[in-house]
Chains A and B, each alone.
Chain A
């Protein structure tokens, strides 16, 4: 739906619901009528979205548009902020993730997260990767744990670089390696979904390329939702792209379509660099 576009700054264009294809048949996770409030201030307005199995969905939009906030809805990370309130229905495999009987600890083990700034714990590389397994009691003995750590590091593409330094501190690695360590840490607990909150914004282009490659491989086994500030990255890694604007979900479409032929004027303005 288009209205007046004379200025093109996006502020006098109306958003009436989401255009495109927010829903899929093979949804892994989904949200209906999602609102988020910080104290009295509403940060997210009525988001409806499905995330399909084994797809990478990219969430883009200008800063402050609510894309990160929405991502944190999906593993209840917002629970840790006392003033934050989430409404609506949110499902993981048709289970209501905000239901009373849903355990946030279990949920976060199933829906892993990688953060904007690499945040390895101030422990050894080995302990970082083994952290989740120890936490949840996933390995029954040392050799099982060793195998799990090795497998996770291999999956994260980090094993070759660090195999001789497993006892060195995780904080001593380079930024890109730290972020891959965090990915290894996340996949070590065998999650079903991985949420990535601008995982490469603090990294250089080469490290970024490595991570993007890794994401493509991870897609075989996991569902991935990535928030990114880089439209090129969204175009490179994702199958579907969701465009957020001022707390609203404006458009969801196949990534090719969003970047070549967006349906909504705001999306077009954003991807053509008129604002953002």
Chain B
């Protein structure tokens, strides 16, 4: 064995140890990211899952015509305006007759949500014959009660630090023994708009707002992006300064912070063109500009991958360049373009920062019904709820995140499916 070989052999052990270490660090880095992802998802879902259930309380309500001041023959208007809160309060009083003091009385009233009165009103309007009878109704429980039922409030904590006081605990125990408390699937979360009361707050407004915003974004960005991509890929002259400028701008815009687009929306769309703030229209306009670069870049790649032999064949048969584009290139590139579009839309769906600038953080309780109605979107709703002090909103925030992630997963799955189904290797 030569001198050199011996020398090399001496160092080998150390070098292989280094090799192993390096490799381990590589794997470790990936595992760290995975761990984080796992922790994030489990935290969110463990926090959010309880929000898909909500506590309801069964009350026997005497729909006393005297207390309500209406009877079966009353006008709709009168039925609508009657004081249903009072009969609910009475029903609670009869159930817990020993409640004394203003504080406790207030607490008693707050066993059920404020929405109980509206629910009762709707029942009565639907069926005025209920008046004068005693019926059992399931009402939405107040958020504190709900939190307690979900084990979020520890009864071993000293009473002073506890949201649910001892006397409330007794009520709850009594309700439980009478089987008047029940957790049910939380339909409010999906059927109501935003509310200041956690138990009444729902996502429907935000979902619809997101939907309208995405519609605006799609109908603006998709045609523009495809036209731009087709031009740059198929028609743009080489070494043209304007074309170079466009290319540089597209690449740069893809990396401009999203909040800057919000400033653009505020200064140009709202202040200059007078487009109403807080609407899906303005949200869609801003997000369309933001998602343009993503879609253009993806569309260009898709158009580029269409083999030139097909285009040449069409040109050889006398088709004009525009005809080739519309009849051959675009249809063949469409799966790729759509995949890129969906990914761009998914990004836009999760975008928050620029929308804060253009007034989509406003509190909107109504569910929007068009692109000109004030509304918010899902990520902004998450931001708003996360900012609310009530405990119950933490849970709802996590649930909203789960819904948002669910939409994103669906969109991405759809994109993957599209790619798998139409993927072609030339």
A residues sitting closer than 8 Å to B (CB atoms) are 103, 105-106, 109-110, 136-138, 189-190, 192
A132 to chain B, nearest CB (A): 10
B2 touches A109 (CB 8 A): no
Complex CA distance for A137 and B10, rounded to whole angstroms? 9
Query: Are the C-beta atoms of B8 and A106 separated by less than 8 Å?
Result: yes
Least Cβ–Cβ distance between B214 and chain A, in angstroms:
44
10 residue pairs, one from A and one from B, having the closest CB atoms? A190-B4, A137-B11, A136-B8, A109-B8, A106-B8, A138-B7, A136-B11, A103-B12, A110-B5, A106-B9
Count chain A CB atoms within 10 A of each CB in B5, B10, B15 and give the residue with the most. B5
Least Cβ–Cβ distance between A201 and chain B, in angstroms: 30
Determine if B8 and A138 form an interchain contact, defined as CB atoms under 8 angstroms apart. Answer: yes
Q: How far is the CB of B22 from chain A (nearest CB, A)?
A: 14
User: What B residues does A189 contact at CB under 8 A?
Assistant: 4, 8
Whether B5 lies near A109 (C-beta < 8 A) is yes
A–B complex contacts, Cβ < 8 Å, 9 sampled: A106-B9, A136-B4, A136-B8, A136-B11, A137-B7, A138-B4, A189-B8, A190-B2, A192-B2
User: Which residues, 3 to 23 on B, are CB-close (under 8 Å) to A?
Assistant: 4-5, 7-12, 15
Q: For the complex, would chain B's binding face be called helix, strand, loop or mixed by DSSP majority? A: helix
How many angstroms from the CA of A196 to the CA of B288 in the assembled complex? 57
Tell me whether B7 and A136 are in contact (CB under 8 A): yes
Q: How far is the CA of A106 from the CA of B12 in the complex (A)?
A: 8
Please, which residues of chain A bring their CB within 8 A of the CB of B4?
109, 136, 138, 189-190
Q: Which residues of B contact A (CB under 8 A)?
A: 2, 4-5, 7-12, 15
Residue in chain A with minimal CB distance to B9: A106
Q: Give the docked Cα–Cα distance between A219 and B11 (Å).
A: 29
The answer for the CA separation of A105 and B9 in the assembled complex, in Å, is: 9
| Chain B residue, CB-CB nearest to A190 | B4
Closest residue of chain B to A95 (Cβ to Cβ) is B1
Instruction: Report B-chain residues with C-beta under 8 Å of the C-beta of A109.
Output: 4-5, 8
Task: Give the nearest-CB partner of A189 in chain B.
Answer: B4
Inter-chain contacts of B12 with A (CB < 8 A): 103, 105-106
On chain A, the residues within 8 Å of B8 by CB distance are 105-106, 109, 136-138, 189
Tell me how far the C-beta of A18 lies from the nearest C-beta in chain B, rounded to whole angstroms: 31
- Chain A nearest Cβ from B3, distance in angstroms: 8
- Of chain A, the residue at the smallest CB distance from B14 is A137
* Complex interface: chain A residues within 8 A of B9 (CB): 103, 106
Taking CB atoms, residues of chain B closer than 8 Å to A103 are 9, 12
Residues of chain B contacted by A192 (CB below 8 angstroms): 2
Residues of B within 8 Å of A110, CB to CB, are 5
Nearest Cβ on chain B to A76's Cβ, whole angstroms: 15
A88–B7 alpha-carbon span in the complex (Å): 30
Q: Report the separation of the CA atoms of residues A219 and B108 in the bound assembly, to the nearest whole angstrom.
A: 102
B31 to chain A, nearest CB (A): 23
Q: Determine how close the nearest CB of chain B comes to the CB of A136; give it in whole angstroms.
A: 4
Q: Which B residue's beta carbon lies closest to that of A137?
A: B11
- A25 smallest CB distance to B (angstroms): 22
Return B10 CB to nearest CB of chain A, in Å. Answer: 7
B7/A106 in contact, CB under 8 A? no
